[in-house]
Chains A and B, each alone.
Chain A
Amino acid sequence: MVEILPNFKLVRPKTVEQAVAMLARSESAKLCAGGTDLIVNMRHGLSDVHTLVEISQINEMQELDLDDDRLRIGAGVTLNELARSNEIAKSFPAIHQACVAIASPNHRNCATVGGNLCLDTRCLFYNQSHWWRKSNDYCLKYRGTICHVAPKGNRCRAAFAGDLAPALIACRADIEITGPQGKRVIALKDFYREDGADHLKLNSDEIVTAVSVKSTAQNSAYKKITVRGALDFPLAGVAVVCNQTPDDGRSFSIAITGTNSSPVVIDVPELKKDDNRQDFFSALGNLVKKSVSPQRTTTIAAHYRRLSIAAITVRLAKTLSDEGSK
């Protein structure tokens, strides 16, 4: 049965530097942002944290800047702050739509952008109470030796189901990471790794401090598949950015969440003005189907997630390419 929250020490640094130092000091220290993912997992006994390094007082992580050149979002910005910006909604529809589709308004008041990007992977056999996991012999991802989803495999297939990551990746975002050695910036798509038990390329003493994207006009959208209108993680979700090319073709940037242990980037060729659209889009659908590998990690069947994500990717891409670029 669900446990009481284990006891821990909470520290509240004022600067990124202090936070990094606190993380470096102890193996069992962990970053806590909104806590909307972390606290549930801790009550399920899914981590041995002794110190929580809480970031809400680090002002430099709360900044949200949009200028002609770049949109830069501090990792500590809450999802509702992000959602509130009309300019972002207008300039980056996919980011906005992904943001307002996360959990529910009360979560978004404290859930952060950084937390959403660093969200733990999810699985039917993992997001369960300690009692349940113990009754089922634990699993590979935490404390166990086998994977119930793919018993023959030797890696965890838990799914990454954050909504923001695909939208930002489709917008070709960069992520800023600060550690004891200072700041490094990498493409967000390279931040993830296809391993459900270790899906972030982030050291335990590093902090995600911001994400940024170039401010270019874009035509984009995000859509997630869920059974109901609120509170559901995406069974699968897709962000599509579509731009008009100089010769009136269309270029696409597409990323998918919910199907693999990391967001999946779909490399799509350009749709040329004279291409046969039907062929192009049916090839796109097949490409998506081939690229994703949903597993039995949700109550909803994996094959459905594959089919439906391919179908809505095609629908979004078609709709956006019809609308043309603005």
Chain B
Amino acid sequence: MSEHLIEATVNGRKVRKTVKAGTRLIDFLRDDLQLTGTKEGCGAGECGTCSVFVDGKLMKSCLMPVSRADGTVIETVENLSGGSILGERTAVQKAFHKMGASQCGYCIPGMVMAATAVLQDNPQAEREEIKERMGGNICRCTGYQKIIDAVELARDVANQIQPAGVLDTEEHHDDFIGASVWRIDAPGKVTGQLKYAGDMVLPGMLEMQVLRSPHAHARIVSIDFSSALEVPGVHAVITADDVPGTDGYGVFVHDQPVMARGKVRHVGEAVAAVAADDLQAAKEAVRLIRVVYEQLPAVFDTDTAKAPGAPIVHDYAPENLVKHIPIRKGDVDAGFAEASFVLEHTFQTQPVEHAYLEPEAGIGYVDADGVVTVHSPSQNITHHRHMLADILDLPINKVRMIMSPVGGGFGGKEDMLYQGMLAIMAMKTGRPVRLVFTREESITVSAKRHPTRIQYRMGVAKDGRITASQLKCESDGGAYGCSTEGVMRKMAILGPGPYDIPNVKIDTYGYYTNNTPSGAFRTFGAMQSEFSTEVMLDLAAEKLQLDPFEIRRINGMRNGAITHTKQKLESVSFQRVLEAAREGSRWESGPSSSRGEQRKDLSGTDIRPPCQLGARFMSTKPEGEFGRVRGRGMAASWYGIARTATIDRAGAWVELDDGGTAKVLTGVTEIGEGILTVLAQVAADELGIRPENITIGDNDTARSPEAAHAGATRQTYMIANAVALACRNVRERFDAEIAAFWEVEPDQLEASNGHIRVRETNKSMTMAEAVAVCKGQRGVVPVGSGSYTAPHTGLDPVDGSGKPWQAYVYGCQVAEVEVDTVTGEVQVLGVWAAHDVGRVINPQGVEGQIEGGVVQGLGQALMEDYQQTDGHAVSHGFDKYILPTSLDVPHINSIIIEDPDPLSPLGAKGIGEPALVPTVPAIINAIYDAAGIRLTSLPATPVKVLAALRDKKRMREGSLEAAE
């Protein structure tokens, strides 16, 4: 083994260490120097989370052997603020904080380094240059807009165009609801101090590695790990035989074993795991495990899966059906008969990877009380605890799940993929055990968005009314059930869109196959079915020579509408949202027949210029404009808030604490969307103190009350209401004591901004004094609790009727695209996104969700595609599974509509998921407007665009010939 003596200056300090020559700079920084602000998102140069300065130049530390860094000067993100969260932050870091540029935060240290490099190289860099220079850094959450805004702000401060003070002072509001209060978790993110699971180290910790199946479907004949145990440093090997309790997990059906039991059902399924003193020993031991497989016939598509005689994936489901959801309203045949025409089209969506930049990671250990604890970025600690207790056969209070900061989830971290292995290994070895997935592992084994084929029939009357909609959706659920059942339900309920349709027939089917499992992904199936609806409406509008907004206005739901599940809606903001998008985008009205010709509303000011790499440096344009056409499309959407068709609930405890501060305890799981800031705002507003005086204790099943999962756009709706109710509960108690002290009635009291007073008198105290009175003189600790419930009802199994949600939100987006008809490349230049969110709590946070959702939608519309051949993932790195970069994103104009929910104490609804639903069809409809081609299969890659253009040309030439 070759060792190297490294002498380098790291963050201003001389470092001298002997390391293996094969160590990468990133390992050296993270493992040897504990500088964990540098993150490993991909390990292959494809994401930029590992960016550091080497001799003043920005580099990707995952691509550099540390031996090459010998003698260099290295700076990491920790250096910017003096290695401490308390240090003075740089202008770039402060600007990121102020502008709300961080969400999950995983990309942020790398982004901050890249931004610093841009401004060092060119302190006057213009927006387009900034984007170009940050092209090597991927962000999956923010859509880049706020990041680029932040860099521009830092630049302006450096050039004294803006006063330095704007970075330090948060404009003071007394009313915290509706104010863009700065994110409370941003400082830890911009300084690289926040520790994600993979950054954590415990004394005596072992590293775990997993042996994964090379086959899509095979019987396990034998597993021999005797030689693995011989490897020095190896502590234990576990297989399915080591599961102490009832094996099986899943969001709906518990059909997935902790490790393959008897057979493997997809490539990459865990078969065994090894724990060793270090990673190298664990990897070596994994290689020495001998598994004998007997391959079984496998099934890779839904048509084969449902055919008689198909290979059976799970014995309990001999027809490979996971779930069928039917919805029936009226009589579709009568509706079609009444229609002036019936459109029939088939759509196909692709499997999509969540691509959170933080790969799955976790630490499991058994604490001194014998409680089995798993720290991991789990989106659903509540449910994971229940399942783990069964798997481990332990009482529920002997299992504890703690959510570590989540570096992006989007639904992908709802499945309990590895937490079971960690717990079992910790129990078996008696040591803390850590597992960090590689990017390849993460993409290969985590669940995808369900690829779905949608067969659509829509009957439309002459006046534009939809007379009947019939959808048959068939989804590939992959090898395990995961969230398929729920996804089928949401896909069905929301499928026909926010339109008043008298006759509806919907069937969604999820099937088992031997592909990578499909599961929860932002919008939970609604994106797929609503995409097809919105393209169908564009087709219908064109046929009727109607403006696409007009056909939606005609059919759109209004107050009192009856949904497809026969629920009566009280307050429907849809028409308002439509109008806002139309006005905001200055849409030029008119039928779609003008398509392909130059519209007057194109190329306005609120779009970005199309990207041409290196164009800034050139005197002449590299290639003429010919072949490039622009167009606009629009689409609308709706979405249900909180868990579907089942009672939803969340709880919180609050204590008014010494010094006029407060503790809020709730099992909330922040996954980057900003819920902690929202809760601080709500609690501050209710208690009459300031958000910075709120301490939130979250994410721990042993220390905070249940608040359930981060998903279903439910956090603000459910948990903020629970916190508000808990605060009101405290205030009731507290106000009674203070009123008694002042000898007034409690309802004479009011509190705000850290003071409590008696209305219309000069009696007043600071909250700090009041808490001291309450405790010291009245002997009462001011504590309270709150629980909020949304009383949803299940769907009827036959006709699907029911009240799946009490709150609905609506959206409408316009997209402007440029299509290169020579190459088929598509760029999205502008998006106008109008969304109803109920009552806005933090506008900056809402914009962040819209921008991030739009860019995820863009990725799904144009480029992202998880490809498999015979169950083997082909695109399991960020080189082949490609994500939008800063150069690909449009200018996003967010338009926020407030239609408070009458049933919710706060009035707020939500925005986490819905923003990406209309983006995909809006882009697809815009491509049609620009180039006259209609794509029905996603994504609209240059291949498909060019093929469609050629077909169109051929058809035109053909029809010319025929005419001649």
Known A-B contacts A104-B136, A106-B51; the reply to A227 vs B613 at CB < 8 A is no
Q: Determine the distance from Cα of A8 to Cα of B22 in the docked complex, in whole angstroms.
A: 6
Interface locus among A68-76, A188-196, A309-317: A309-317
Contacts of B876 in A (CB 8 A): 132
Q: Determine the distance from Cα of A40 to Cα of B880 in the docked complex, in whole angstroms.
A: 14
Contacts of A248 in B (CB 8 A): none
In the complex the two chains form, is B135's CB within 8 Å of A316's CB?
no
In the complex the two chains form, is B135's CB within 8 Å of A229's CB?
yes
Interface locus among B84-92, B618-626, B801-809: B618-626
Interface residue? B508 (CB, 8 A): no
Q: Type the 1/0 row for A293-321, where 1 means its CB is closer than 8 Å to any CB of B.
A: 00000011100100110011001101100
Interface locus among B59-67, B161-169, B493-501, B671-679: B59-67
Q: Type the 1/0 row for A12-42, where 1 means its CB is closer than 8 Å to any CB of B.
A: 0000000000000000000010111001100
Closest chain A residue to B626, Cβ basis: A315
Q: Determine the distance from Cα of A311 to Cα of B823 in the docked complex, in whole angstroms.
A: 7
User: B65 touches which one: A35, A89, A90, A124 (CB < 8 A)?
Assistant: A35
User: B822 touches which one: A35, A103, A105, A311 (CB < 8 A)?
Assistant: A311
Known A-B contacts A43-B44, A308-B822; the reply to A106 vs B622 at CB < 8 A is no
Interface residue? A184 (CB, 8 A): no
Interface residue? B21 (CB, 8 A): yes
Contacts of A89 in B (CB 8 A): 617-618
User: B942 touches which one: A35, A36, A225 (CB < 8 A)?
Assistant: A225
Closest chain A residue to B884, Cβ basis: A228
Q: Determine the distance from Cα of A10 to Cα of B6 in the docked complex, in whole angstroms.
A: 12
In the complex the two chains form, is B60's CB within 8 Å of A106's CB?
yes
User: In the complex, what's the smallest C-beta–C-beta distance from B942 to chain A, in angstroms?
Assistant: 6
User: In the complex, what's the smallest C-beta–C-beta distance from B943 to chain A, in angstroms?
Assistant: 4
In the complex the two chains form, is A101's CB within 8 Å of B43's CB?
no
Interface residue? B394 (CB, 8 A): no
In the complex the two chains form, is A221's CB within 8 Å of B622's CB?
yes
Interface locus among A59-67, A92-100, A150-158, A199-207: A92-100
Contacts of B824 in A (CB 8 A): 304, 308
Contacts of B885 in A (CB 8 A): 104, 228-231
User: In the complex, what's the smallest C-beta–C-beta distance from B233 to chain A, in angstroms?
Assistant: 14
Interface residue? A322 (CB, 8 A): yes
In the complex the two chains form, is B941's CB within 8 Å of A109's CB?
no
Closest chain B residue to A52, Cβ basis: B65
Closest chain A residue to B939, Cβ basis: A227
In the complex the two chains form, is A36's CB within 8 Å of B45's CB?
yes
Q: Type the 1/0 row for B810-852, where 1 means its CB is closer than 8 Å to any CB of A.
A: 0000000000001111000000000000000000000000000
Interface residue? B753 (CB, 8 A): no
Contacts of B44 in A (CB 8 A): 2, 40, 43
Closest chain A residue to B439, Cβ basis: A2
Interface residue? A7 (CB, 8 A): yes
Known A-B contacts A97-B618, A132-B872, A232-B882; the reply to A5 vs B942 at CB < 8 A is no
Q: Determine the distance from Cα of A56 to Cα of B865 in the docked complex, in whole angstroms.
A: 38
In the complex the two chains form, is A223's CB within 8 Å of B136's CB?
no
Q: Determine the distance from Cα of A13 to Cα of B879 in the docked complex, in whole angstroms.
A: 32
With an 8 Å Cβ cutoff, the count of chain A residues facing the other chain is 71
Q: Determine the distance from Cα of A101 to Cα of B885 in the docked complex, in whole angstroms.
A: 14
Interface residue? B20 (CB, 8 A): yes
Q: Determine the distance from Cα of A32 to Cα of B941 in the docked complex, in whole angstroms.
A: 35
Q: Determine the distance from Cα of A315 to Cα of B822 in the docked complex, in whole angstroms.
A: 8
In the complex the two chains form, is B136's CB within 8 Å of A227's CB?
no
In the complex the two chains form, is B441's CB within 8 Å of A1's CB?
yes
Interface residue? A245 (CB, 8 A): no
Known A-B contacts A221-B622, A228-B863; the reply to A304 vs B946 at CB < 8 A is yes
Interface residue? B194 (CB, 8 A): no
User: B21 touches which one: A9, A34, A86, A318 (CB < 8 A)?
Assistant: A9
Of the listed residues A56, A99, A104, A131, the one surrounded by the most CB atoms of chain B closer than 10 A to its CB is A104
Interface residue? A48 (CB, 8 A): no
User: A93 touches which one: B618, B823, B867, B941 (CB < 8 A)?
Assistant: B618
Q: Type the 1/0 row for A264-300, where 1 means its CB is closer than 8 Å to any CB of B.
A: 0000000000000000000000000000000000011
In the complex the two chains form, is A101's CB within 8 Å of B941's CB?
no
Interface residue? A129 (CB, 8 A): yes
In the complex the two chains form, is B68's CB within 8 Å of A56's CB?
yes
In the complex the two chains form, is B48's CB within 8 Å of A104's CB?
yes
Contacts of A105 in B (CB 8 A): 58, 114, 117, 132-136
User: A9 touches which one: B2, B132, B875 (CB < 8 A)?
Assistant: B2
In the complex the two chains form, is B65's CB within 8 Å of A5's CB?
yes
User: In the complex, what's the smallest C-beta–C-beta distance from B59 to chain A, in angstroms?
Assistant: 5
In the complex the two chains form, is B20's CB within 8 Å of A96's CB?
no
Contacts of B874 in A (CB 8 A): 124, 299
Closest chain A residue to B625, Cβ basis: A319
Q: Type the 1/0 row for B176-191, where 1 means its CB is closer than 8 Å to any CB of A.
A: 0000000000000000
Contacts of B134 in A (CB 8 A): 105
Contacts of B963 in A (CB 8 A): none
Q: Determine the distance from Cα of A97 to Cα of B616 in the docked complex, in whole angstroms.
A: 10
User: In the complex, what's the smallest C-beta–C-beta distance from B93 to chain A, in angstroms?
Assistant: 19
Interface residue? A134 (CB, 8 A): yes
Contacts of B279 in A (CB 8 A): 4
Known A-B contacts A231-B885, A300-B942; the reply to A106 vs B58 at CB < 8 A is yes
Interface residue? A216 (CB, 8 A): no
Known A-B contacts A10-B4, A105-B136; the reply to A131 vs B58 at CB < 8 A is no
In the complex the two chains form, is A40's CB within 8 Å of B63's CB?
yes
In the complex the two chains form, is A109's CB within 8 Å of B882's CB?
no
In the complex the two chains form, is A316's CB within 8 Å of B862's CB?
no
Closest chain B residue to A136, Cβ basis: B872
Interface set, chain B 590-647, CB cutoff 8 A to A: 611, 613-614, 617-624, 626-627
Interface residue? B888 (CB, 8 A): yes
Contacts of B206 in A (CB 8 A): none
Q: Determine the distance from Cα of A3 to Cα of B44 in the docked complex, in whole angstroms.
A: 11
In the complex the two chains form, is A299's CB within 8 Å of B875's CB?
yes
Contacts of A2 in B (CB 8 A): 43-44, 438-440
In the complex the two chains form, is A228's CB within 8 Å of B58's CB?
no
Contacts of B941 in A (CB 8 A): 227, 300
User: In the complex, what's the smallest C-beta–C-beta distance from A53 to chain B, in angstroms?
Assistant: 12
Q: Determine the distance from Cα of A311 to Cα of B945 in the docked complex, in whole angstroms.
A: 14
Known A-B contacts A4-B280, A124-B874, A136-B872; the reply to A231 vs B63 at CB < 8 A is no
Q: Type the 1/0 row for B946-957, where 1 means its CB is closer than 8 Å to any CB of A.
A: 110010000000
Q: Type the 1/0 row for B14-52, where 1 means its CB is closer than 8 Å to any CB of A.
A: 000000111110000000000000000001111010010
Known A-B contacts A101-B614, A109-B59; the reply to A230 vs B619 at CB < 8 A is no
Closest chain B residue to A10, Cβ basis: B67
Known A-B contacts A308-B822, A316-B623; the reply to A231 vs B46 at CB < 8 A is yes
Q: Type the 1/0 row for B662-693, where 1 means its CB is closer than 8 Å to any CB of A.
A: 00000000000000000000000000000000
User: B43 touches which one: A9, A43, A99, A131 (CB < 8 A)?
Assistant: A43
User: In the complex, what's the smallest C-beta–C-beta distance from A65 to chain B, in angstroms?
Assistant: 20
Closest chain A residue to B885, Cβ basis: A230
Q: Determine the distance from Cα of A101 to Cα of B403 in the docked complex, in whole angstroms.
A: 40
Contacts of A90 in B (CB 8 A): 619
Interface residue? B383 (CB, 8 A): no
Q: Determine the distance from Cα of A299 to Cα of B527 in the docked complex, in whole angstroms.
A: 24
User: A35 touches which one: B63, B214, B888 (CB < 8 A)?
Assistant: B63
Sampled A-B contacts (8; CB under 8 Å): A2-B438, A96-B614, A97-B614, A105-B134, A109-B59, A226-B825, A307-B950, A308-B822
Chain B positions near chain A (C-beta within 8 angstroms): 1-2, 4, 20-24, 43-46, 48, 51, 54, 57-60, 63-65, 67-68, 114, 117, 132-138, 209, 212, 214-215, 267, 279-280, 283, 438-441, 611, 613-614, 617-624, 626-627, 822-825, 862-863, 865, 867, 872, 874-876, 878-880, 882-888, 941-943, 946-947, 950
Q: Give 16 new A-B contacts, CB below 8 A, not counting A10-B2, A52-B65.
A: A1-B212, A4-B280, A35-B64, A36-B45, A89-B618, A105-B58, A105-B136, A106-B59, A106-B137, A109-B57, A109-B59, A131-B212, A225-B823, A225-B942, A304-B824, A323-B620
Question: Closest 5 A-B residue pairs measured CB to CB?
Answer: A104-B136, A229-B887, A230-B135, A135-B214, A10-B67
